[in-house]
Amino acid sequence: MSVKVIHPGLLTTIQDLGRVGSQKFGVIVSGAMDPFSLRMANLLVGNAEGEGALEITLFGTTLQFESDQLVAITGGDLQPTIDGEKAPMWRPILIRKGTILKFKSAITGCRAYVAFAGGIDIPDVMGSKSTYLRAAIGGLQGRALQKGDELTCGHYSKIAMSFVQQLERLNSHFSWSVNYTEFISFEQTQTIRVLRGSEFERFDQSSQQAFFSLPYTLTTQADRMGYRLEGKPIQLSEKFELLSEGVTYGTIQVPSNGQPIILMADRQTTGGYPKIGQVISVDLPRLAQLQPKAAILFKEVPLKQAETELIKKEINLNELAMGIHMKALHH
């Protein structure tokens, strides 16, 4: 079973949940910018949550299916069409041989995810299928998709087979969907919750207040590595030398120009700029779906709340996953 790339779009890469465990060797994590949408796409086609899928950025990707294939499209609404007809999202879809799946431009959000039943049949590199563009490893030859690429899909799980049988019996290419709204929002003005960074107290009082009270705008310098923001400059009380320290997805650094940078999925493993904050894990998918010119308001929350929110979201996602499994059993 294979899929041919007719047009790669702005930036389409293969991502999973990242290359975990190798940062100590200087190898970045990579992985999906919006891990929730990737996990959900995989669950909808009967894959393991962390299977490799396509991450499509903003516009333009066109795929042709060389065989029948069960897929799911999640994330931002990039106006997907199947042979010119509006394609449904957040549900299993049975796409027939010869069909064209095309993404136009983003109406909501910034990134869409396409999971294929059986996953994408490419080798793991250091335990992950994620594409790390700068080092040219993982994914398809370590690069973004190009015109003419062919993706081979793996073997269907029992769940995927069950969904295909259901859709064939209904004589439809889609049916039920999941409600994603409690997990992610695609609004382009977002309140993003943060923990205080390790150098928070080193910024002057007016900067601390500005960071938690004034909006910051996402600039066009926003990619998988980091988001540059624009707003009231944030200043240190006094200059100091900082040794490079470990950073993670959502770390908010402040370089000498005072304009914050939020580190994203393809961040470096260490950083030497002072850290004013850390985005909490449950808000990372919303952050990943912001388009340039989006407005961000930062809100401080305690660590305990960040942990509670994460546990709650994982419980809810687990219940959703169980519901999807039940759909497969009762066909």
Residues above pLDDT 70, as percent of the chain? 98
Q: What is the pLDDT of residue 326?
A: 87
pLDDT per residue as tens digits for the range 292-331: 999 999 999 999 999 999 999 999 999 999 998 888 877 5
Q: What is the pLDDT of residue 237?
A: 87
pLDDT per residue as tens digits for the range 213-253: 999 999 999 988 999 999 999 999 888 777 777 788 999 99
Beta bridge partners of 74: 113
Residues above pLDDT 90, as percent of the chain? 74
Please, where in the chain does CATH 2.40.100.10 lie? 189-300
pLDDT per residue as tens digits for the range 252-268: 999 999 999 999 988 77
Q: What is the pLDDT of residue 24?
A: 64
What architecture does CATH give domain 189-300?
Beta Barrel (2.40)
Instruction: Please tell me the least confidently modeled range out of 59-68, 127-136, 265-274.
Output: 265-274
